[in-house]
Amino acid sequence: MSDIAIRVEHLSKQYHIGRKQEKYRTLRDTLAEAFVAPFRRAGRLLRGQATGAAELSETIWALRDVSFEVKRGEVIGIIGRNGAGKSTLLKILSRITEPTEGYAEIHGRVGSLLEVGTGFHNELTGRENIYLNGAILGMKRAEIDRKFDEIVAFAEVEKFIDTPVKHYSSGMYLRLAFAVAAHLEPEILLVDEVLAVGDAAFQKKCLGKMEDVAQEGRTVLFVSHNMSAVQALCPRTILLRQGQVALDGPTESVVREYLANLTEGAEQALEDNPERTGSGGVYLTAARVLDETHQPTRHLIAGRPASFELHYRNLIGAKRANVAMTIYNHLGIAVTNCDTVLTGFSVEEMGPEGILTCHIPNLPFPIGQYYVAVAIYVNGKQMDLVPNALVFDVDSSTFFKNGRTPKVRYCACMVSHQWQHETTNHR
């Protein structure tokens, strides 16, 4: 038996944009349209309007000539900016949509976790939806019976299992939907950004379940913007860029390339960043890394001062705000969090535009690459979050006087320390 679980050959998908969604048409509608079409077309010509379908709509290639193979038991990450074609690829592999060109071979039962909650009916109870959703996702009734208690326990909805889900909170709804889908036992599992839903505790629980699935030897394709999760789960990662495979290789190097191209310089405009989330109204427009001389740079020295400059625009006349900045290393591990709440600093009089600067007097990071997520809050509400706002490199170190720096695999953050020694006499 072949060890190939998925083979994708020259896969492409084209979409038409600008064309109105067609409503349901009866035979009478179709005959009537055929009768009046010549007169309508003549009228458009007289008015100088376009008449061809090609002129009324545009086409875009969501995927273009994508090829790769996945062996049985491999866990592969799929990363890229919004619009890179990640979700389209999984929809084709799930047989939700057909490719325009090329083909994909799937060897094994496929379970898809593409849209959490698909198939839930608001009028049905949690119990009824488990059986309904399980059937939609390919589970037999006997299989659902065996897993029912485990699904309910994972979702933490025991008290409400016989209540219609229309009365569930959004968190309960998401927990139950994920629990049903995640407890499938397919040979191939396709997962699209499930860790983007729910609170932090639920996201951690989802990640733990995904780790269990990966360790069971199933083939997994995992789409996510969470680089930490990708690096924790996936030894190999594919980077999609504008619908094409830009890089396919070890996760660490692929993620490094993705982040480096996401923010290439010391100064980064953020207004068009596709990764941002938040309610809006106050948002971050630009960010800069500054060295000890306050000059923009991407290259910093450990043990020396560094600053991070955040530009904002205030469209709602907010007066007070708090800002948080989290710095991650190349493994996706958060090495520090700089938050105005932690230092007791608060912006009391915001203008229409402004600059917030975070100073780190003694940069404590070992040599390596780092990326920065920034967020701004008003009255505790997240107005804007840019997960990959900046990238910088620590190239050398004066943190210790001898210029040495610990290897990054032993150290996420350096601390000043001293040693002492004394001898003891044993009689």
Q: Which domains are seen in the chain, by residue range?
A: 61-261 (3.40.50.300), 267-397 (2.70.50.60)
Is residue 309 scored above 80 in pLDDT? yes
Whole-number pLDDT of residue 35? 57
- Gap between the Cα atoms of 139 and 3, Å rounded: 25
Whole-number pLDDT of residue 197? 54
Its pTM stands at 0.59
Task: Summarize pLDDT for 231-263 with one digit per residue, the tens.
Answer: 778 899 999 998 999 999 998 888 878 876 655
| Closest residue by Cα to residue 104 from 122, 113, 116, 92 | 92
Residues whose CB is less than 8 angstroms from the CB of residue 272 and which lie 6 or more positions away in sequence, other chains included: none
Q: For the residues 293-312, what does the mean pLDDT come to?
A: 90
Confidence of residue 116 (pLDDT cuts 50, 70, 90): low
Helices (H), 216-358: 227-233, 251-262, 340-343
Q: For the residues 225-229, what does the mean pLDDT come to?
A: 73
Task: Summarize pLDDT for 409-426 with one digit per residue, the tens.
Answer: 778 899 988 888 898 876
Instruction: Give me the residue label for tokens 């427009």.
Output: 285
Confidence of residue 57 (pLDDT cuts 50, 70, 90): low
- Gap between the Cα atoms of 11 and 43, Å rounded: 41
Is residue 174 scored above 90 in pLDDT? no
Task: Summarize pLDDT for 181-206 with one digit per residue, the tens.
Answer: 778 677 888 888 665 555 656 767 77
Confidence of residue 38 (pLDDT cuts 50, 70, 90): low
Whole-number pLDDT of residue 195? 56
| Closest residue by Cα to residue 86 from 214, 250, 222 | 222
Q: For the residues 171-178, what does the mean pLDDT come to?
A: 80
Is residue 360 scored above 90 in pLDDT? yes
User: Hey, how many other C-beta atoms are within 10 angstroms of the C-beta on 329?
Assistant: 21
